[in-house]
Amino acid sequence: MDLTIIRQSLDTYVRPATSPVAIKMIDSADEIPERAKMPKRDLGTTMPLCQGIALARRHGMVIAMSKDDMLCPIGAVALGLLPAKPRFLDGSFGIPFWVPTQEMTANLASGMARLEAGRYSHVVAAPIERAAFEPDVIVVYGNPAQIARLIQATVYATGEPIVSRSAGGFACAEQIARTMLTDKCQYVIAGGGDRVIAQAQDDEASFALPISQADALAEGLEESHKRGTRYPTRSYLTFGAVMPKSFGQMLEYLESDEE
């Protein structure tokens, strides 16, 4: 896969304000890119997965994280870096804290997309222009109009609407784990840590595509653009406007012989 093609397509037809992020799950530390930063080793802190992704898309950093780098257990479980033990699944810890009952928390935890525990050792996130690897997933942040263009391009390629899940949190699980497990695109409304800690803005949502769909998405963006779906959204401007009555009176006066 030539990432230049999808990068140029996104730049031309979507124009995201921050870099699309290439994400890859790897089996061992030997696969970590040479210039990658690891939060605990190189930055002196642990952090949530969403914060690592934010460093890639906002600061242009290549970030590699193992379970030892992760402050948030949700991301570690979603990627299979930590196991989903019984007390995680039964809602004992009351996360997310705004859910009113343990039963509801358990329902969310058990339904969260998770990669196989122990299958991978690290996750690598890089701005797409610095990705020296073939990613599993590309995550793009944008405003609703930009995300709509990505949805339109996907529908152009597949003929089917995108079905996504959002719980006001667990964005990393939807962006990475569910995208990898289903091999289908996802759009995700960010919440929880992605907004509070990773500082996703109020006008931002995200779109995740599996690398298997990248070529089709690039084609869908180009072809749907030709058919009139654009970003920035093209306004309809060939209508006859209705002006206040006084404007018409002024026009008649200016076109008349009256002084």
* Nearest alpha-carbon partner for 213 in 166, 165, 168, 160: 160
Q: Which residues pair with 211 in a beta bridge?
A: none
Summarize pLDDT for 16-50 with one digit per residue, the tens.
Answer: 999 999 999 999 999 999 999 999 999 999 999 99
Q: What is the pTM of this model?
A: 0.93
Q: How many domains does the chain have?
A: 1
Domain limits for position 220: 3-255
Burial degree of 130 (CB within 10 A; 0-12, 13-18, 19+): middle
CB 140 within 8 A of CB 10: yes
Q: Which residues pair with 22 in a beta bridge?
A: 126, 138
Reported as a pLDDT band with limits 50, 70 and 90, residue 192 is confident
Summarize pLDDT for 143-184 with one digit per residue, the tens.
Answer: 999 999 999 999 999 999 999 988 888 999 999 999 999 999
Summarize pLDDT for 89-99 with one digit per residue, the tens.
Answer: 999 999 998 89
DSSP conformation class of 68: G
Alpha-carbon gap, residue 36 to 53, rounded angstroms: 13
Summarize pLDDT for 42-79 with one digit per residue, the tens.
Answer: 999 999 999 999 999 999 999 999 999 999 999 999 99
Other C-beta atoms within 10 Å of 214: how many?
22
CB 89 within 8 A of CB 110: yes
Q: Per mean pLDDT, which range of 39-53, 124-138, 182-196 is the poorest?
A: 182-196
* Six token digits for residue 183: 């091999």
